[in-house]
Structure 1
Amino acid sequence: MAVSWEDSVTNSINTIYLLFSAYLVFIMQLGFAMLCAGSVRAKNTMNIMLTNVVDAVVGSISYYLFGFAFAYGIGSDSNPFIGTHFFALKDIPNDSYDYSFFLYQWAFAIAVAGITSGSIAERTQFTSYLIFSFFLTGFVYPVVAHWVWSSTGWLSASSTGLLFGSGAIDFAGSGVVHLVGGIAGLWGALIEGPRVGRFDAFGKPIPMRGHNATLVVLGTFLLWFGWFGFNPGSFDKILVSYPNTTDQGNWTGVGRTAVTTTLAGSMAGIVTLFARRLLVGHWDALDVCNGVLGGFVAITSGCSVVEPWAALVCGFFAALVLIGLNVVALKLKFDDPLEATQLHGGCGAWGLIFTGLFAKHEFVIQAYDSGQSGVVRPYGLFMGGGWGLLGSQVVEVLVIVGWVSVTMGPLFYCLHKLRLLRTSVDDEIAGLDISSHGGYAYMAHPEENQPRFYTDYVRIQE
């Protein structure tokens, strides 16, 4: 069948928009790399930079071979719980998904492994990164993506059989991406245990701050920039005309989604700024950066279906969730160098619950029913939409925590038992750069950047 000129133009614009969004999401890998590099001690810079590269290159192969098929496969053996499980592009018809869609989803997939890498930084053998990145990107994450984002997924808000008449709304991945990465990091950090010297003999935490605040701030702004592809880009087709309207389409939600994303991150940042000032007695740029990112993580679920004022509420509580979980982590002697578990896991879970409370009916119809008038479906509980959506959101939180725990937990445990997970104490004290990567990232010896208590600790150990 011949394609009309109008359809050809529409398809071209949609493809360009989706590819541009994919490029923005991929820029987030650079943001992750800068954030991670600045957040670790100088003697581990080379290691954390290489792990970010590995997450991208290993994840690319894994997602191409297996991941995309698990997530969006629609072959004869596809079902609501798992997609086609053969080579990713083999059974994907071109009239449903194309290469631009694959690239966009790939950019999401490799971000998950980067989240987990941060949780186990500074004490992990490099071999284990290769193993868990391949498994997480090729299987664990894609199954969750299938549940929530595939049209045949049992949790999908776009499926024919909606859970509780609603399905879970996770527009850009507070749960699918961030909660998955955060829970995986939780198990890795728990099984490995804290870094050497993180807690003293009495269980009191000893600060181990990153070595370069400039890189942390640079990484934060790069992630902020990339989030404009992450959230608004999830409208994978912008030139879609809604039935019974003359002036609306997906494009009406793109700008609003960018605004809600910005407001949530900004509110979380400002709340973190003042809260940490009260708690520690000074203004802390690094904490504010994490607060901003926590707001972005939380709004990612409901960015397309809430009003801008609700995004401020989302960011406000995201900051409190992050601060509260960080306090709990120290009480439990849980060591996550980048706060990835608390940030991506905790704020991701809050974002899903927030969507179940504040999603607006008009925007839900716009995002998930192509703007059809007369459609009635559950929306935010606080907006008068009943319990259906909130129930679906809670189910998503629970099944993600359960699925990632029963897959990644045993994987990390097996690596631990095989002595492939944690590096030796001597190598950890010396620094992973010198022990595994041929030299330090900087000319100056990294211990010059450490506070006195750290060098004293090393001297005692020797």
Structure 2
Amino acid sequence: MEHSWESSVEESINAIYLLFSAYLVFVMQLGFAMLCAGSVRAKNAMNILLTNVVDAAVGSLSYFLFGFAFAFGEGPNKNPFIGTSYFALKDVPTASYDYSFFLYQWAFAIAVAGITSGSIAERTQFGAYLIFSFFLSGFVYPVVAHWVWSSSGWLSPNSSQQLFGSGAIDFAGSGAVHLVGGIAGLWGCIIEGPRVGRFDAFGKSVIMRGHNATLVVLGTFLLWFGWFGFNPGSFNKILVAYPNTVDQGHWTSVGRTAVTTTLAGSTAGIVTLFGRRMLAGHWDALAVCNGVLGGFVAITSGCAVVEPWAAIVCGFFAAWVLIGLNVLALKLKIDDPLEAAQLHGGCGAWGLIFTGLFAKEEFIVQAYDAGLAGAQGRAYGLLVGGRWGLVGAQVVEVVVILVWVSVTMGPLFYLLHWLRILRISIDEEVAGLDISSHGGYAYNAHEEEDSAPRFYGDYVRMHNNS
């Protein structure tokens, strides 16, 4: 059956919108790179930058060869692991649209590995990083994406048999992306242990500041910019007719989604600013950056289905979740250089619960029932007049992600540790990953260059002579 001219235009606009959103999400890799580079010490800057490049490169191959099929590849006579079967999918309507959808989902997949890299920065062997990055983006994350976003996923709100009559609403991935990356990073932190010198002989924490606050702030704003593709872009098709309304399609909700994203991140940043002022006695710009990101992470689940005022509530509590988990991490001697496990894991879990409390019925219909004959009587937010079904589904998603990532990434990290290929030696860590693994420092005018050896072999000889 031939497409009408109007259908072709609609498909083209949808594809262009999705590709543009994919480009914005990909810009977040640059944001991750700047944030990570600024948050580590100068002697490890080149290493963390390389891991961010590897996320994109390795993720491209692992997600194409395996990940996309695990997440969305369905249908008769389709190879579920490799090849062009990816571009004949149940969840994507037309062949011309498949490639845009793949690219957008790939940008999400590589973001997961970027989250985990921050948790285990400054002490991980590069070879081990290649292994777990491939496994995480090619298998662990795609399975969760299938549960939540595929029309046959058992947690999906688009499933024909919705869990508790609603399915779990994780619109842009507070759980599927951020909680997965955060829990994976947590297991890496626990199994590797803290960096040398992070805690003194009495167990008291020792501050290890990143070397460049400018890069941290730059990375934060790049991530903020990219989030406008991450959240509003998750309306994969913007030209979809709503039933019995004058609205033209999903594009009517895109602006509101961008606003809720902005309000949640801004609120979390302000609350973190004053919260850290009360706890530390000074204004902390770097903590505010993480607070802003924590608000974005939390709102990502419900950005399309909540009112703007609810986004402010989301950001307020996300800030305190982050602050509280950072305090707890210090007490438990968990060393996460970028607070990634607390930020993405903790705020991601809160975002899922928040959605179950504040999701509005009208917006759920717009996001998930557009194009149908009418609403499906979905459960909606408990605190805005809804039932317990949605809250229950959100809690289930939190629990199953925690279990799934723990039983996959936990053993993988332990195996790498057992094989002694996970963590670098103490000497290499003291010298810095740049000089021990990458041939020299990231900066020509390194602040310690006059007194430090230029190559790791020189460092070893100096150390042995002393």
User: Any conservation in 2 of the 1:290–1:343 contact (CA below 8 Å)?
Assistant: yes
User: Any conservation in 1 of the 2:199–2:205 contact (CA below 8 Å)?
Assistant: yes
Give the letter aligned to residue 440 of structure 2. G
The aligned residue for residue 392 of structure 2 is 391
Question: What is the CA deviation profile of residues 318-345 of structure 1, one whole-angstrom value per residue up to 9, with x for unaligned ones?
Answer: 0000000000000010000000000000
Give the letter aligned to residue 88 of structure 2. P
The aligned residue for residue 302 of structure 2 is 302
Offset at residue 68 of structure 1 (A):
0.2
Offset at residue 361 of structure 1 (A):
0.4
User: Any conservation in 2 of the 1:192–1:422 contact (CA below 8 Å)?
Assistant: yes
- Write out aligned runs for 1:32-71 (5 A): 32-71=32-71
Offset at residue 376 of structure 1 (A):
1.4
The aligned residue for residue 436 of structure 1 is 437
Task: Return the alpha-carbon distance in structure 2 between the equivalents of residues 170 and 293 of structure 1.
Answer: 17
Task: Return the alpha-carbon distance in structure 2 between the equivalents of residues 176 and 422 of structure 1.
Answer: 27
2:190 is paired with a residue whose SS is: helix
Question: What is the CA deviation profile of residues 349-389 of structure 1, one whole-angstrom value per residue up to 9, with x for unaligned ones?
Answer: 00000000000000011101116545411000001111000
Unmatched segments (≥5 aa) in structure 1: 79-83, 450-458
Task: Return the alpha-carbon distance in structure 1 between the equivalents of residues 195 and 376 of structure 2.
Answer: 54
Deviates more, 1:68-77 or 1:143-152: 68-77
1:134 is paired with a residue whose SS is: helix
Offset at residue 445 of structure 1 (A):
3.6
Give the letter aligned to residue 173 of structure 1. G
The aligned residue for residue 93 of structure 1 is 88
Unmatched segments (≥5 aa) in structure 2: 451-462
The aligned residue for residue 253 of structure 1 is 253
Task: Return the alpha-carbon distance in structure 1 between the equivalents of residues 247 and 346 of structure 2.
Answer: 39
Task: Return the alpha-carbon distance in structure 2 between the equivalents of residues 247 and 435 of structure 1.
Answer: 59
Task: Return the alpha-carbon distance in structure 2 between the equivalents of residues 76 and 115 of structure 1.
Answer: 35
Task: Return the alpha-carbon distance in structure 2 between the equivalents of residues 434 and 320 of structure 1.
Answer: 38
Task: Return the alpha-carbon distance in structure 1 between the equivalents of residues 163 and 386 of structure 2.
Answer: 15
Normalising by the residue count of structure 2, what TM-score does the alignment of the two structures yield?
0.94
Normalising by the residue count of structure 1, what TM-score does the alignment of the two structures yield?
0.94
The aligned residue for residue 4 of structure 2 is 4
Question: What is the CA deviation profile of residues 108-141 of structure 1, one whole-angstrom value per residue up to 9, with x for unaligned ones?
Answer: 0000000000000000000011000100000000
2:364 aligned with 1:359: no
Task: Return the alpha-carbon distance in structure 1 between the equivalents of residues 447 and 51 of structure 2.
Answer: 19
The aligned residue for residue 459 of structure 2 is none
Note closer, same or farther for the CA distance 1:107–1:445 as it changes in structure 2 (3 Å cut).
same
- Write out aligned runs for 1:149-228 (5 A): 149-228=149-228
Deviates more, 1:372-381 or 1:139-148: 372-381
The aligned residue for residue 19 of structure 2 is 19
- Write out aligned runs for 1:375-386 (5 A): 375-386=376-387
Offset at residue 443 of structure 1 (A):
2.5
The aligned residue for residue 453 of structure 1 is none
Task: Return the alpha-carbon distance in structure 2 between the equivalents of residues 228 and 55 of structure 1.
Answer: 21
Give the letter aligned to residue 438 of structure 1. G
Task: Return the alpha-carbon distance in structure 2 between the equivalents of residues 130 and 228 of structure 1.
Answer: 29
Note closer, same or farther for the CA distance 1:243–1:128 as it changes in structure 2 (3 Å cut).
same
Offset at residue 249 of structure 1 (A):
1.8
Offset at residue 251 of structure 1 (A):
1.0
User: Any conservation in 2 of the 1:356–1:393 contact (CA below 8 Å)?
Assistant: yes
Note closer, same or farther for the CA distance 1:374–1:185 as it changes in structure 2 (3 Å cut).
closer
Task: Return the alpha-carbon distance in structure 2 between the equivalents of residues 348 and 186 of structure 1.
Answer: 13
Question: What is the CA deviation profile of residues 290-337 of structure 1, one whole-angstrom value per residue up to 9, with x for unaligned ones?
Answer: 000000000000000000000000000000000000000000100000
The aligned residue for residue 408 of structure 1 is 409
Offset at residue 76 of structure 1 (A):
3.7
Task: Return the alpha-carbon distance in structure 1 between the equivalents of residues 261 and 344 of structure 2.
Answer: 15
